Amino acid sequence: MKTRKPVIIGIGELLWDMLPEGRLAGGAPINFVYHTTCLGAEGYAISAVGNDEDGEEIIHELERNRINYCVSKVDLPTGYVPVTLINGIPTYTIIEDVAWDHIPLTEQAMELVKRANAICFGTLAQRCETSRKTINTLIDLVPVEALRVFDINLRQHYYSKEIIEASLRKASIFKINDDELIILRDLLHLPEDNDTACRSLIDTFHLSHLILTAGSEYSSVYTKDMVSTIPTPRVQVADTIGAGDSFTGAFIYSLLIGKDVREAHKQAVKTAAFVCTQAGAWVKYSQNNKD
């Protein structure tokens, strides 16, 4: 008897990353879905694109990569983000008032999230009231037992204490990197020590898991009762675009297929290291990357 694939959804920004060598489809929650799909999930993207050629082409990219989608067309341009790379580390310039700022609440999306085993969301797509209301309504429709993954993904000035705290209250799993933790420490008056700060967030917001990534140094996964810490493997880095999203995707997929926290963490580290060796976020997997 074939086991049903986990249904994993990303909701938020769908856009073109405008890299020096050309453009690539991206957006953190959709990158997350891409990697869970490659690993074996039934992945879905919920977002919006414009009634333009860029929107048609990015929909084609979803289809070409076998990502299911619930993507509305709105009367705003399809999102795009100029990206500069310095030693493989990306800097993003986020463009305002684009299609994914206005994700409508549709019957299709509401029915879809009721099937979810996991849903991932961040702060960026909540910068506009329309998408923020849609995201929060859809999260509330997700089954109680589903994983609600808040990947904070702080970009420029597009976040607030209120949005972060509201998102944490809806989340069961929180993903943050060490640079973002510095910002959050000031916003939420967290302890100076990273370990104590993470444990405080677990307790305050009743999280089942907290994922802390520290770039080329290490990553840690916290639960209420334990912490798993793994050094980051040394690899030849092409760029780090989408590495954090691949980490989160691999971890969530691994949990949903029955791996324990330590094994899920190992898979996440392995996946993110592989993504760093390739250009862009939507890299091609081999069987070795899936095992």
pLDDT for the residue numbered 3? 59
What average pLDDT does the chain have?
93
Prediction pTM value: 0.93
The rounded radius of gyration (Å) of the Cα atoms in the chain is 17
Residues 6+ apart with CB under 8 A from 212: 176, 177, 178, 181, 194, 198, 219, 220, 221, 222
Query: Listing from the earlier edge strand, what are the strands of the sheet with 7-11?
Result: 68-74, 42-50, 7-11, 118-121, 147-151, 173-177, 209-214, 218-222, 227-231
pLDDT for the residue numbered 88? 67
Question: Integer distance in angstroms from the first to the last C-alpha of the chain?
Answer: 21
pLDDT for the residue numbered 2? 45
pLDDT for the residue numbered 287? 61
pLDDT for the residue numbered 1? 36
Low-confidence ranges of the chain (pLDDT < 50): 1-2
Query: Listing from the earlier edge strand, what are the strands of the sheet with 89-92?
Result: 22-26, 15-19, 79-86, 89-92
